[in-house]
Amino acid sequence: MTQRTLTTFPAIVAIALGLSACMTAPAQTDSAGLAGTMWSVEAVNGQSTAGRSDFTVAFSGTTFDARFGCRRATGNYAITYASNGDPRPGFRGYNARISGSPCTGTFAEQLGPEIISTATFSLDRQTDGRLMMAQPPTFILLRPLRR
């Protein structure tokens, strides 16, 4: 290595370490307690789906299976924690497959599968047991069905 390479290498390492401190780190397990749970989708971006038995999300290990009316999204998820000290876990869906055509024409049915499959949410447990998956202005409100 040249003298110039030896002097710039520590600076590159310091920058890389500094950038990695700002990123979120995936949890090794589902520490948010989603695995083995099933939820009813109560609302997507404020549009109520309450009372609809065909709007559900189930979590198993590191996979999710979501139904939004006639559309379905299945994929993987990761639980993350922010490096800035925010205690709320985060949810990130990935490797999702979306199927079905909208049959009700509602916003929740049309965009729900895309939202849960690609967005990164903070997870906020409500005092009444519901779960808010939020990335303002987007959110999905879930009510527990079973654990």
Amino acid at residue number 55? F
Average pLDDT over residues 4-31: 39
Q: How far apart are CA 103 and CA 69, in angstroms?
A: 7
- pLDDT higher than 90, residue 85: no
* Angle in degrees, CA 131, 116, 69, rounded to 5: 90
- pLDDT higher than 80, residue 19: no
Instruction: Tell me if 108 sits within 8 A of 49, measured CB to CB.
Output: yes
Residue 35 — φ and ψ, nearest 5°? -55, 130
**Tokens found for residue 14:** 């310091």
The CA distances from residue 7 to 1, 19, 139, in Å, are 10, 20, 48
Confidence class of residue 51 from pLDDT cuts 50, 70 and 90?
A: confident
Q: What pLDDT was estimated at residue 47?
A: 94
Q: What pLDDT was estimated at residue 80?
A: 87
Q: What pLDDT was estimated at residue 77?
A: 94
- pLDDT higher than 60, residue 11: no
Q: How far apart are CA 13 and CA 54, in angstroms?
A: 50
Confidence class of residue 22 from pLDDT cuts 50, 70 and 90?
A: very low
Neighbour tally for 2: CB within 10 Å: 7
Q: Where are the domains of the chain?
A: 25-146
Q: What is the pTM of this model?
A: 0.76
Question: What CATH class is the domain 25-146?
Answer: mainly beta
Exposure b/e, 5-23, CB count within 10 A at least 16 = b = eeeeeeeeeeeeeeeeeee
* Angle in degrees, CA 8, 18, 137, rounded to 5: 140
Q: What pLDDT was estimated at residue 21?
A: 38
Average pLDDT over residues 125-139: 93
Average pLDDT over residues 64-83: 93
Those residues whose C-beta lies under 8 Å from the C-beta of residue 129, and which sit 6 or more positions away, are: 143, 144
